[in-house]
Amino acid sequence: MSERLTADVAIIGGGIAGCSTALHLRWRGASVVLLERGVCGGQASGVNYGGVRQQGRALAELPLARRSREMWARLAAIVGTDCEFMATGHIKLARSDADMAELEAYREAVRPYGLALELLGRNAIRARYDWLGEAAIGGSLCAEDGAANPRLVAPAFARAARAAGADIREHAPVVEMASDGTQFRLRTADGLEVCAANLVNVAGAWGHEVAVRFGESVPEAVIAPNMCVSEPLPYFMVPNFGVCGGGVYVRQIPRGNVIFGGGRGIADRERLRAYPVADASLDAMRQTIALVPRLRHAQLIRSWTGIEGVMPDDIPVIGPSRTTSGLFHAFGFSGHGFQLGPVMGAVLSELVLDGTTPTPIAAFDIARFLPLPTGEGRGEG
């Protein structure tokens, strides 16, 4: 059986970015076919830590993150469920004076973006959070940051997009794709053919595979952040936290489980599977206890990981293709794409339909990884 579909926009990838793009395009009346190799939110969008965090991002990401945060607040209105989003606050902990200096400098740097951070010294932070251990000497609190349940977000966007008329196909891996200059032609493993004037590449860790088909070879690596969760405990830790320099990040959900991540699992990009690694779990357990000693007696009940695409400069590729008209990319979110997922739908729909977006994205131009054409600058990066 071979089925043929025609749409204004074809989307490859059913993560949060793809499903949000489908929804935004439908709001503006464009017809959409979304092709997802597995199930929507089955990869990085669905198995990440769940942090909805602006603090600590590269400055270039802040305009996107600010706009996305505004969408998180309205999630129930957008997709019909809040996906357990809570503005719990996020603390970035300092374990040394150098860390504190870094936090102070960051607070000044983000002021122009409207991101309010509160610095807490040794006494203040322990007075406010009596569960913190001696390892933390201070921190920076972003009150409006928080967390959500990653398992729910992409499927919620997918359902909303479907309800709005998007044609979302799961278990539909794209095996052929080409552009004849005016139309993209895609074919899935099952023989479904899709013809569209525009193509959105939101294929996550596999985004480079789409890009390279259109002559844009970019160095996208993969990571598998190693994640752990404890049994439910009495709810005592409202804000979630990370530490300067990385290492471990921890949050508790109101039903009591403590979710923490640190280190790397094993990513098998070809087989679409990722495996947590015991040594990473054990190390994250040690670091977590050092920061929150009362977790010493908690039990670990599960570990997991997922595959995330990483760019060499740790920020994603976002924007129009430099080789192919009508092609738009957003991939390689480098381990911190969850919070940006919703806004990518707004930005990509604007790029497709208006040719531009009010949110600055120049820093994410794919051109930064392409051979430099003579006589042309790379933009301000």
Partner 1 sequence: MADRPPVIVGAGPAGIRAAATLVAAGLTPIVLDEAPRGGGQIYRRPPAGFTRPYQALYGFEAAKARRLHDELDGLAGRIDYRPDALVWDMRRGALQCLSGGRNATIAYRDLILATGARDRIIPFPGWTLPGIYTLGGAQIALKYQGCAIGREIVFLGTGPLLYLVAYQYAKAGATVRAVLDTAPFAAKRRALPALLAGGATFAKGLWYVAALRARGVPLAAGIRPIAAAGDTAVTALRYRAANGAERRIACDALAFGFGLSSETQLADLAKIPFRYDTLQQQFLPSRESSGRTPVAGLYLAGDGGGIAGADAAELSGERAALALLEDRGHAADKLRLAALERGLQRIAGFRAALETAFPFPADLAAAMADDTILCRCEGVTAGEFRRAAGALDAAEVNRAKAFSRCGMGRCQGRVCGPAAAIVLAAALQLPPESIGRLRGQAPVKPIPLAVTA
Q: Name the residue nearer to partner 1 (CB basis): 265 or 309.
A: 265
Candidates 130-138, 209-217, 302-310, 344-352; binding stretch for partner 1 (CB under 8 A): 302-310
Instruction: Report in angstroms how near the CB of residue 302 gets to partner 1 at its nearest.
Output: 5
Pairwise CA distance, residues 110 & 140, whole Å: 12
Among 123, 182, 299, 374, binds partner 1 (CB under 8 A): 299
**Should residue 303 be labelled a site residue for partner 1 when binding is judged by CB under 8 A?**
yes
Within 10 Å of residue 276's Cβ, how many Cβ atoms?
23
Q: How far apart are CA 257 and CA 78, in angstroms?
A: 28
Contact, 166 vs 81, CB < 8 A?
Answer: no
Structure token digits, residue 151: 């398992």
Instruction: Give min distance, CB of 47 to partner 1, in A.
Output: 9
Residue 4 burial (CB < 10 Å; 0-12/13-18/19+)? exposed
Beta bridge partners of 138: 94
Residues 131-170 that bind partner 1 (CB under 8 A): 151-152, 155, 159
Task: Return the residue of 98, 189, 275, 373 that touches partner 1, per CB under 8 A.
Answer: 275
Considering only 3, 296, 312, 314, the residue that binds partner 1 (CB under 8 A) is 296
| Binding span for partner 1 by CB under 8 A among 99-107, 111-119, 172-180, 229-237 | 229-237
> With CB under 8 A as the contact rule, which of the stretches 22-30, 49-57, 126-134, 284-292 interacts with partner 1?
284-292
Name which of 320, 376, 82 is nearest 201 in CA terms. Answer: 320
The one segment of 115-123, 140-148, 183-191, 283-291 that binds partner 1 by CB under 8 A: 283-291
How many angstroms separate the Cα of 355 from the Cα of each of 144, 184, 224, 273, 350?
Answer: 32, 17, 34, 36, 7
* Torsion sign, CA atoms 368, 363, 348, 58: positive
Burial (CB count <10 Å: 0-12, 13-18, 19+), residue 313: middle
Tell whether residue 76 is a contact of partner 1 (CB under 8 A): no
Query: Shortest Cβ distance from residue 300 to partner 1 (Å)?
Result: 5
- When the beta carbons of 288 and 339 are compared against partner 1, the nearer one is 288
Residues in contact with partner 1 by the rule CB under 8 A? 39, 42, 46, 151-152, 155, 159, 230-232, 275-279, 281-282, 285, 288-289, 295-304
